[in-house]
């Protein structure tokens, strides 16, 4: 066991945990004030719920030795996940497990932006337990736990497929099945508190250093470069988003810089340990533009993905995963990508992206239809008008 | 001239604004309010302490119009703001003796 | 007695308050409001969705005075609140039938 | 019908609401306001810059009632809202010409 | 000196420092908006005040060699607390001292929730100087500084007795002596900004990893397991609080999840390095229910502990300290507890709990009565109606 | 390469990054609500902009081998800044670079407080690119990159001259050239959200541990002592500011404690690795008083430095740099100062302070006049009345 690596991964675990309250602020600020608590509740409840799912069966299904599709049952209830060193690392198994737990929290929390302002809380809970079990655990196993995607050489440093494509695609399924918010496109639905959203973006940027540089599982040069490219891609995406909206809509906005930064963070995630700083800037700059356009396109496509999970995590994650196949550079880590002479890596990346999209979308849909049939997904129209904070949680956010 | 004050449900504001615009009402002033009436409130719970919230969010729309318009305005507001459920709100009409436009010092009808 | 209601631009509040003080108006009640009128609003953009914001921040100042004061009060408000640009606001005068001071139960003129 | 407008201290709202309920007043509309009057304000200090805050938080309660009720309502409000210290607030009575209940289009007395 | 351990404890110190602003948000959001600044001021002022008390005499009275009751004077003004390694650790003395300083900040800050919205600021300062000297320093010495409780084998990994029982009991004394807020039980006293409270809860959860896992004083498997059980107990308590209020009151609330999480963090604190994950889940789940019921009971008991310090820190800390005696497992750290065959440990824990309760309550009462006699504790009734932000601090929180 | 040191400096880099969102909150809360987003945008945009400037040429101009005045071009685009160990340290060059990048972000962000509520956003961008290139990079090179001030023995542990004096003096130039806000001194300009400011102060305090203790570039006793004195000076300054305003104005305020804490953090920055705890307390206590008086004096001097960058960073940084020459103690680090028998160090410090003030002021002025001539600095009067959030960014912070 290496103490320095353990210190770094424990610190990173704390940083990744903080991303979920950060997300709660980021999302909460964008809703109308009558729904902010409900939106924040989604994230906070998952901090608790996903952790217990992880402890009891999620970690085992993801990381215990199993087959190409799913992990085994050896780690149920965290049996045997203690002080011994985790294979191919220098940190205790318990450290690896808790670092990974934080990813299992934030991934479903990301999805919740899609159905903000109208989801029934009880159905939310049931959906999330099923989704963690039947979507998150398998996909995580495929990529990191010994499953087929990792085996085939797909590169995903910190979760482009597992976290972002996965959540973005599930978000699309949610938006389609739950339907649009009452009044969508007619009554104005402006963010109620952008200072909250900016705070959230700041916490996400901060915490993401743990997410990406922590994924090196060691305090080494790989972690350091992952940290650097995470920062630089984010910077580039934040600026490119703001510039493109400045050109198209005439104003550079703070919601734009917050959104662009998150788009950059998403896109660099799979590439973090594999690309250099200049590549990261290009990757990030493209992410800012592409995600902005994806968000703009939503209006035309007709579904109501309340807080743009599809446009940012789905599209940004997909771009990032493919770009990893373009910009990866063996000198930095992993294998070479297309621009360094290995065209095959792009194909591998595309297969990984495609498989994740199809699997996540189909299984998310099935879960949604089951939950809808059994208990319904939406609050009543009257409750939606009053606001879900009051109707589902019996609270009001502000009494200023 | 008369002032028409409508207490409406907040999410009906845009429809009321549009309805008034359609009959040429050129100005209005809007205030956030809380209303108490037949509509029952809801319970809020904070660490087990329960509060009955019976002051519900309402929007107050005030528009001063010439007396001839009053009925038309009322009609428009009613049809735009009605949902048919308790709490849709009320309209009150009060006399206005003078109106001044600050920018020009125009008075009364000219000031509307 | 009359109630004078002035809808003004928010940053003019201090000047209006001072102007009224200078002629001995001893009380007023101020409310935040949003105004709709000739003044054009602005566009807001949130992730590409554009909204025309045509309800603009205004401040509503209400003061009840004896009828003799009405013209002087109007004049003072107009000169303090005017910027000469659209949206300066309006003044409305309404009749007041009774006034009571809660602390003392004094009535009408004595209560002002 | 008359509109009774009471400007009161915010923490007296619940007592006033209860007092009005006790005499059968079935509806009211409440707005946050700031009041300026005899009650002196307080000093606020931000990094050494001092501001005199003389607009103090008040609550405006408006209730429209049939004319016969006016005196009883005033009396109830006075006794519920009085603390005996400066700033307890004022009550104003204004004429109301028409009332409409949006939900049913009922008019005047029926609409209250 | 071990650099990795130093890195970890320094990072943990920063995390624990952040808990106090987190507490300021958590508490501040629950007050009425006219008192939010005053409540936040309590926490922020203690970040400064308790640090200086610690520097000049607090650390010495807690940790210099002394007798069974109180430490010596060797470290007054931090003389000799520098680069040399702290006994039985691998980190510099200065690192140990500053890590402990953060505990001396948050403990009195926790108390301040009891007298929120009515305490005179000058009396607050005097009370806190006395309390840190005559209550915190001795109790800290008893448990961690070579005093009688540590000597007798009481287990307190990260401060269940020193921090939570101690502050919870002092809070009860404060609530009793200062009396209820004007209008308590009559006028509604709703939280004015739950987004602030949720933010605070998020920062507390994040910072608590430093509090508990940092208490290992090394980046090792013990720190890692402390981190894991901290997280899992918190998850369990957050859920159990929400479920029990859902059953009893009909709605799952966001204030509930925030409160439940804090209850879990409190309860696992003494047990962090000594129990395994499943035990942590049970310990946390019970904490969520017990603290919820304690908070409910307050209404019946009649005192006005404004922000439920007694119900959460007093009761949660007591449960945690006793549960440490039940669930402790030598294989993980410390000694075995009742469920692992060592019934005596529960007795030791109960003695430690009892001693802390009695000492803290009595001495806090004495200090309160002295301060009350000399300078009074409460603002005037008029100032309370206007709000203490304006009357004590000449400020208004919001001009939106 | 030392893994523990790398872990510590990476964690510190994340902490310093968080200071800029913290600053955004700290500043944003003090503006009027119609300008909060614009103020926060300044900080967030610099997180992106300064990073790219740093990547492409800033780091090279600061740290590549050059002459006494400016660095060379070897590191343009971060060429060769990778896994190899950075000279005279034990961490990868990429880690050193990214740690320093965070300083290049926060320094210009600090300046933005001077022209808050009236600066044109496009001019802001151009000014900042020029300022980073022609002011920040040279001064950074002088002190830390091999330039003349470092060579001459000026002590600046973590950036008293490079960051604080530099930004404070540039802020004065900005305030003078851009002119006062419309209505300054006539209409009340109260902070619109002090809870935001307090949150920001909390995040700054937290992040500053990375700033100062991270500047040791290792997880050693020097880092530990830097951490300790940072904390203690801040505590002392927070209290001294509050006490002096309590005496002068009659009330202890929360904006005061936040401001005092920042003043203490600023003043201890150059001294952090060189002084002991008692010296730190004196240094901090003086900083709180001096900065408070500097802020008071502003009213008399007539310029409108909206958020007191001059009074806090300029004056606090100057005091700190000189005090380093007084209190420095070789036993702790660096060389001795006046009070330890080496009067010459004060002279060196004064030269460093003077040079930075003159250079930064003159070059900032030149840049400002150029930008003003080319594109103007201020929004129109009408836009200023409406608020820059709406006029420059097309957004409203709050729809509560
Ligand atoms: N007598 C009244 N005076 C002033 N406002 C009233 C009065 N009665 C009702 N209101 C306002 O109208 C709103 C709707 O009234 P309510 O009785 O709930 O429903 P409805 O108008 O459908 O009968 C109330 O919330 C209140 O704001
Ligand atoms: N008929 C009206 N009834 C009520 N309020 C009005 C009316 N017309 C204007 N106002 C108020 O006066 C404000 C200014 O009016 P506007 O037409 O924009 O400019 P101006 O008064 O300069 O012509 C509006 O924002 C609105 O609050
Ligand atoms: N002439 C007035 N017109 C409108 N509102 C008034 C007037 N005078 C007082 N008020 C309102 O009544 C409140 C209380 O008045 P004040 O003079 O402070 O105390 P009191 O009513 O006890 O004499 C004021 O804050 C203001 O809101």
What is the C-alpha to C-alpha distance for residues E231 and E277, in angstroms, rounded to an integer?
9
Residue in the block written with tokens 């479903």: A108
**Model pLDDT, residue E205:** 98
* pLDDT tops 90 at residue B26: no
Strands (E), E131-286: none
**Model pLDDT, residue E372:** 98
The verdict on a CB contact (< 8 Å) between E390 and D44 is yes
In this complex, the chains that touch C, judged by 3 or more CB pairs closer than 8 A, are: A, B, D, F
Q: Is residue A398 part of a domain?
A: no
Would you mind telling me the total number of residues written for chain B in this entry? 112
- The reply to whether E196 touches chain F by the CB within 8 Å rule is yes
Residue in the block written with tokens 């792009």: A346
Task: Collect all residues of chain F within an 8 Å Cβ-Cβ radius of residue E393.
Answer: 251-254
Chain F positions contacting chain C at CB under 8 Å are 183, 186-188, 385-386, 390-391, 394-396
Q: Could you say which residues of chain C have pLDDT below 50?
A: none
**Structural domains in chain F (count):** 1
Q: For residue D28, give the ligand nearest its CA.
A: 1
- The reply to whether F41 touches chain A by the CB within 8 Å rule is yes
**Model pLDDT, residue F176:** 98
Q: Is residue F310 part of a domain?
A: yes
Closest ligand 2 atom number to CA of residue B62? 4
What is the C-alpha to C-alpha distance for residues E32 and F393, in angstroms, rounded to an integer?
33
Q: Is residue F307 part of a domain?
A: yes
Q: Domain holding E275: CATH number?
A: 1.10.3430.10
Please count the other Cβ atoms lying within 10 Å of the Cβ belonging to residue E238.
32
* pLDDT tops 90 at residue A186: no
Residue A400 CB contacts under 8 Å (≥ 6 apart), including other chains:
E33, E192, E193, E398, E400, F400
| DSSP letter for each residue of D74-104 | HHHHHHHH--SSTT--EEEEEE--EEEETTT
Structural domain boundaries, residue F73: 3-393
Alpha-carbon dihedral sign for residues F18, F24, F29, F30:
positive
What is the C-alpha to C-alpha distance for residues F368 and F364, in angstroms, rounded to an integer?
6
Please count the other Cβ atoms lying within 10 Å of the Cβ belonging to residue C91.
24
**Model pLDDT, residue E123:** 98
Mean pLDDT over E94-111 rounds to 98
With beta carbons less than 8 A apart as the criterion, state whether E196 and F195 touch: yes
What is the C-alpha to C-alpha distance for residues C31 and A252, in angstroms, rounded to an integer?
33
**Model pLDDT, residue F362:** 98
Please, what's the b/e burial string for D75-93 (b: 16 or more CB within 10 A of its CB; e: otherwise)?
A: ebbbebbbbeeebbbbbbb
DSSP for residue F217: S
Alpha carbon of C45 to those of A201, A299, C57, C84: distances in Å? 18, 14, 18, 29
Reported as a pLDDT band with limits 50, 70 and 90, residue D112 is confident
* pLDDT tops 90 at residue D111: no
Percentage, residues of chain C above pLDDT 90 = 90
| Per-residue pLDDT tens over the stretch A215-255 | 999 999 999 999 999 999 999 999 999 999 999 999 999 99
Percentage, residues of chain B above pLDDT 70 = 100
Residue A324 CB contacts under 8 Å (≥ 6 apart), including other chains:
A155, A156, A157, A160, A270, A271, A274, A275, A337, A345, A349
The verdict on a CB contact (< 8 Å) between A190 and C47 is no
The verdict on a CB contact (< 8 Å) between F195 and E25 is yes
Element (H, E) at F60: helix F59-63
Give this complex's ipTM: 0.97
Alpha carbon of D96 to those of B3, B93, C2, C65, D107: distances in Å? 10, 6, 15, 19, 12
Residue A257 CB contacts under 8 Å (≥ 6 apart), including other chains:
A201, A238, A241, A242, F41, F44, F45, F48
| DSSP letter for each residue of F172-195 | HHHHHHH-PPTTTTTS----SBHH
Comparing CA positions, the residue from C65, E120, E57 lying closest to residue B98 is: C65
Ligand 1 centroid from CA B87, angstroms: 6
pLDDT along chain F (400 residues), means of 10: 98 98 98 98 98 98 98 97 96 98 98 98 98 98 97 96 98 98 92 98 98 98 98 98 97 98 98 98 98 95 96 98 98 95 96 98 98 98 96 96
Mean pLDDT over A324-339 rounds to 96
Nearest CA in chain F to D53: F188
Q: Is residue F398 part of a domain?
A: no
Comparing CA positions, the residue from A291, A276, A203 lying closest to residue A233 is: A276
With beta carbons less than 8 A apart as the criterion, state whether C90 and B99 touch: yes
Comparing CA positions, the residue from E188, E177, E97, E134 lying closest to residue E360 is: E134
Comparing CA positions, the residue from E2, E5, E3 lying closest to residue E216 is: E5
- The reply to whether A58 touches chain E by the CB within 8 Å rule is no
Please count the other Cβ atoms lying within 10 Å of the Cβ belonging to residue E187.
16
Test the C interface: residue of F181, F392, F396 with most C CBs within 10 Å: F396
**Model pLDDT, residue E186:** 87
Task: Collect all residues of chain F within an 8 Å Cβ-Cβ radius of residue C11.
Answer: 183, 187, 385
Reduced to 3 states (helix: H, G, I; strand: E, B; else coil), residue C66 is coil
Nearest CA in chain A to B44: A394
Compute the count of residue pairs across chains B and E with CB atoms less than 8 Å apart: 29
Alpha carbon of F235 to those of A249, E129, E259, F286: distances in Å? 47, 14, 29, 12
Q: Is residue A47 part of a domain?
A: yes
Reported as a pLDDT band with limits 50, 70 and 90, residue E148 is very high
**Model pLDDT, residue C110:** 87
Q: Is residue A121 part of a domain?
A: yes
Bridge pairing between strands B90-95 and C42-46: unpaired
Alpha carbon of A58 to those of A55, A129, A214: distances in Å? 6, 10, 21
**Model pLDDT, residue A299:** 86
Per DSSP, chain B holds a count of helices (H) and strands (E) of 3, 7
What is the C-alpha to C-alpha distance for residues E360 and C7, in angstroms, rounded to an integer?
59
Cβ < 6 A, ligand 2 pocket: B 27-29, 62-64, 101, 103, 112; C 7, 35-39, 56, 58, 86-90
With beta carbons less than 8 A apart as the criterion, state whether C54 and C36 touch: yes
pTM: 0.98
What is the C-alpha to C-alpha distance for residues E298 and F48, in angstroms, rounded to an integer?
50
* pLDDT tops 90 at residue A42: yes
Residue C67 CB contacts under 8 Å (≥ 6 apart), including other chains:
C1, C2
In this complex, the chains that touch D, judged by 3 or more CB pairs closer than 8 A, are: B, C, E, F
Comparing CA positions, the residue from A156, A255, A114 lying closest to residue A197 is: A255
Q: Is residue F17 part of a domain?
A: yes
What is the C-alpha to C-alpha distance for residues F400 and C49, in angstroms, rounded to an integer?
19
Cβ < 6 A, ligand 1 pocket: B 7, 35-39, 56, 58, 86-90; D 27-29, 62-64, 101, 103, 112
CA dihedral E232, E233, E237, E239 (to 10 degrees): 10
Q: Is F144 exposed, middle or buried (0-12, 13-18, 19+ CB in 10 A)?
A: buried
What is the C-alpha to C-alpha distance for residues E42 and E24, in angstroms, rounded to an integer?
8
What is the C-alpha to C-alpha distance for residues F26 and F13, in angstroms, rounded to an integer?
20
| DSSP letter for each residue of A309-330 | HIIIIIHHHHHHHHHHHHH--T
* pLDDT tops 90 at residue B108: no
What is the C-alpha to C-alpha distance for residues F205 and F201, in angstroms, rounded to an integer?
6
**Token pair for residue F140?**
């950074």
Element (H, E) at F228: helix F221-249
How much of chain E is in helix, strand and coil states, percent to nearest 5?
70, 0, 25
Q: Is residue F399 part of a domain?
A: no
| Per-residue pLDDT tens over the stretch E239-249 | 999 999 999 99
| Per-residue pLDDT tens over the stretch E188-244 | 999 999 999 999 999 999 999 999 999 999 999 999 999 999 999 999 999 999 999
Ligand 3 centroid from CA B9, angstroms: 30
Q: Whose CA is nearest to atom 19 of ligand 2?
A: C87
What is the C-alpha to C-alpha distance for residues B65 and B80, in angstroms, rounded to an integer?
18
Chain D: closest CA distance from residue F266 (Å): 17
Residue F355 CB contacts under 8 Å (≥ 6 apart), including other chains:
F142, F149
Please count the other Cβ atoms lying within 10 Å of the Cβ belonging to residue E95.
34
| Per-residue pLDDT tens over the stretch A48-76 | 999 999 999 999 999 999 999 999 999 99
Residues paired with residue C107 on neighbouring β-strands, in sequence order: C100
| Per-residue pLDDT tens over the stretch E337-367 | 999 999 999 999 999 999 999 999 999 999 9
**Token pair for residue A323?**
């770009």
Comparing CA positions, the residue from E125, E128, E118 lying closest to residue E179 is: E118
What is the C-alpha to C-alpha distance for residues F245 and F253, in angstroms, rounded to an integer?
8
Residue from C89, C92, C94 to probe ligand 2 pocket by mutation (most atoms less than 8 Å from CB): C89
Q: Whose CA is nearest to atom 5 of ligand 3?
A: C28
Ligand 1 centroid from CA D6, angstroms: 16
What is the C-alpha to C-alpha distance for residues E40 and B107, in angstroms, rounded to an integer?
52
Residue A18 CB contacts under 8 Å (≥ 6 apart), including other chains:
A203, A206, A207, A210, E202, E203, E206
Enumerate the H helices of A74-219 as residue ranges.
Answer: 93-111, 121-131, 137-144, 148-151, 166-178, 194-213
**Model pLDDT, residue F314:** 98
């Amino acid at each position: 066991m290496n103490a320095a690596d353990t210190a770094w991964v424990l610190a990173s675990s704390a940083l990744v945990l903080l991303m979920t309250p950060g997300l709660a602020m980021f999302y909460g600020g964008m809703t109308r004030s009558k729904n902010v608590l409900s939106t924040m509740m989604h994230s906070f409840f998952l901090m608790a719920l996903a952790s217990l799912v992880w402890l009891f069966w999620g970690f085992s299904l993801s990381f215990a030795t199993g087959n190409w599709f799913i992990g085994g049952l050896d780690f149920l209830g965290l049996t045997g996940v203690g002080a011994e060193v985790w294979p191919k690392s220098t940190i205790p198994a318990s450290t690896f497990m808790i670092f990974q737990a934080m990813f299992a929290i934030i991934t479903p929390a990301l999805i919740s932006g899609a159905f903000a302002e109208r989801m029934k809380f009880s159905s939310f809970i049931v959906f999330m337990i099923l989704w963690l079990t039947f979507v998150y655990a398998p996909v995580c196993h495929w990529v990191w736990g010994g499953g087929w995607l990792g085996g085939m050489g797909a590169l995903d440093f910190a979760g482009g497929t597992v976290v972002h494509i996965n959540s973005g695609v599930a978000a699309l399924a949610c938006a389609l099945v739950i339907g649009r918010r009452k009044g969508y496109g007619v009554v104005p639905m402006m963010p109620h508190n952008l200072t909250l959203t900016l705070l959230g973006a700041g916490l996400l940027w901060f915490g993401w250093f743990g997410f990406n540089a922590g994924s090196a599982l060691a305090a080494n040069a790989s972690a350091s470069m992952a940290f650097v490219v995470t920062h630089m891609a984010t910077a580039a995406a934040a600026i490119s988003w703001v510039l493109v909206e400045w050109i198209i809509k005439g104003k550079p906005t703070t919601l734009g810089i917050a959104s662009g930064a998150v788009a950059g963070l998403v896109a660099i995630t799979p590439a973090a340990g594999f690309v250099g700083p200049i590549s990261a800037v290009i990757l990030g700059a493209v992410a800012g533009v592409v995600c902005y356009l994806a968000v703009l396109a939503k209006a035309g496509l007709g579904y109501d993905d309340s807080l743009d999970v599809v446009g940012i995590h789905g599209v940004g994650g997909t771009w990032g995963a493919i770009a990893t196949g373009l910009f990866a550079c063996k000198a930095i880590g992993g294998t070479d990508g297309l621009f360094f002479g290995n065209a095959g890596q792009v194909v591998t990346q595309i297969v990984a992206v495609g498989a994740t999209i199809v699997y996540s979308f189909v299984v998310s849909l099935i879960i949604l239809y089951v939950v809808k049939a059994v208990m319904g997904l939406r609050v009543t129209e009257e409750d939606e008008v009053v606001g879900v904070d009051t109707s589902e949680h019996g609270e009001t956010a502000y009494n200023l | 001239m008369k002032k028409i004050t409508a207490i409406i449900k907040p999410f009906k504001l845009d429809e009321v604004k549009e309805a008034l615009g359609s009959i040429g009402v050129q100005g209005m002033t809007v205030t956030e309010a809380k209303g108490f009436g037949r509509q029952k409130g809801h319970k809020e719970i904070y660490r087990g302490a329960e509060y009955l919230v019976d002051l519900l969010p309402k929007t107050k729309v005030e528009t001063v119009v010439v007396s001839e318009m009053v009925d038309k305005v009322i009609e428009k507001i009613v049809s735009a703001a009605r949902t048919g459920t308790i709490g849709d709100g009320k309209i009150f009409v009060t006399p206005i003796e003078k109106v001044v436009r600050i920018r020009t010092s125009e008075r009364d009808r000219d000031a509307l």
